[in-house]
Structure 1
Amino acid sequence: MALEKILVAYDGSEAASAALDLAADIGAGNDEIGIDVVNVVAIPLLSDDQLVSFASVLDLMERDAEALLTDAVARLDEHDIDNDVETYILNGTDTATEIAKLAEQDDYDIVIIGSRGLGGIKGYLGSVGHKLLSICSKPVLIAK
């Protein structure tokens, strides 16, 4: 399978950084591969009245997401790759669902997400990675 579009979920964690590095390694030497980075700002389920009050908090969360994505692009630049990089900030109540919708809507070839060691029931996967594996119709690569 030739890759043309990679979607990387990035939240600034060590595992997400590993996912970003993996995408850079895959894209290195082939500037035809587009690498897009997404951050999902999780919004709690709120009533309309509560959402109005939440707007200022959401604005701060989106600014933090912008800073994270700026860092992600800088990290990719450190790999000296010439690939096109787009960034997306999504809002939603379920991070995995938002990532899966974007992956399917924009026809990505693969989604790369970081793992996190939880032990217990989910083992090596965090809850977002675990859910994404089960709901996303695109291949999902877990970076460790």
Structure 2
Amino acid sequence: MYQKILVPYDKSDPAKNALQAALDLAAGVPDATITVLSVVDWHDFNAETFRIASRMSGVLGDSLDMDAIAEVESEAVKADTDAIAADIAPLVGDTAGVEIAVVNGSPHDSITAYADEGGYDCIVMGHRGLGAVRGMLGSVCYSVLHKTSVPVLIVK
């Protein structure tokens, strides 16, 4: 049985179905944990284009206030975490054994890295999510399936 399950989550119906499947997999397994992972694409505040645009607009001077940027990122993580917690509450009920994580990056790379680095036993993910360009670039689950060594359960 799986002890540590990762569920990539984008608030879509397939992601909710995947979460339900993960809850079913973890039912009756002592100390099983489920991590609901949200992958977001925030702007890179260290990028040169951001620095130039900030200086041109007069918002920032020659140096960036990294503490202010870290605070903005922290607030964004908290807001996303709270939104996911509210969205999954009807499915999860008691949140014991369910964690929420928010990471920045591309979905396929972030999911794969998070699963591999976190020592997860299984990734449970929805077949079709909200990816805007999945038709051009291929589906996220196809990419994750081929990039990770962790077993992947794809739920429709």
Give the TM-score taking structure 1 as reference length: 0.75
Measure how far apart 1:108 and its partner are: 0.3
Q: Do the aligned partners of residues 73 and 36 (structure 1) sit closer, same or farther apart at CA in structure 2, a change above 3 Å counting? A: same
Name the larger-Rg structure. 2
Matches of 1:75 and 1:101, distance apart in 2: 29
Q: Do the aligned partners of residues 44 and 142 (structure 1) sit closer, same or farther apart at CA in structure 2, a change above 3 Å counting? A: farther
Q: What corresponds to 2:38 in structure 1?
A: 39
| Residue aligned with 2:2, SS | coil
| Counterpart residue identity of residue 14, structure 1 | D
Alignment map for 1:36-115 (pairs within 5 Å): 36-43=35-42, 47-50=47-50, 62=77, 65-78=80-93, 83-92=96-105, 94-115=106-127
Matches of 2:32 and 2:87, distance apart in 1: 17
Q: Which moved more, 1:22-31 or 1:10-19?
A: 22-31
RMSD: 3.2
Give the TM-score taking structure 2 as reference length: 0.69
Unaligned runs of 5+ in 2: 55-68
Alignment map for 1:117-128 (pairs within 5 Å): 127-128=139-140
Report whether the alignment pairs 1:19 with 2:18.
yes
Counting aligned pairs with the same residue, the percent is 34
Unaligned runs of 5+ in 1: none
| Counterpart residue identity of residue 138, structure 1 | V
Measure how far apart 1:73 and its partner are: 4.5
Matches of 2:101 and 2:77, distance apart in 1: 11
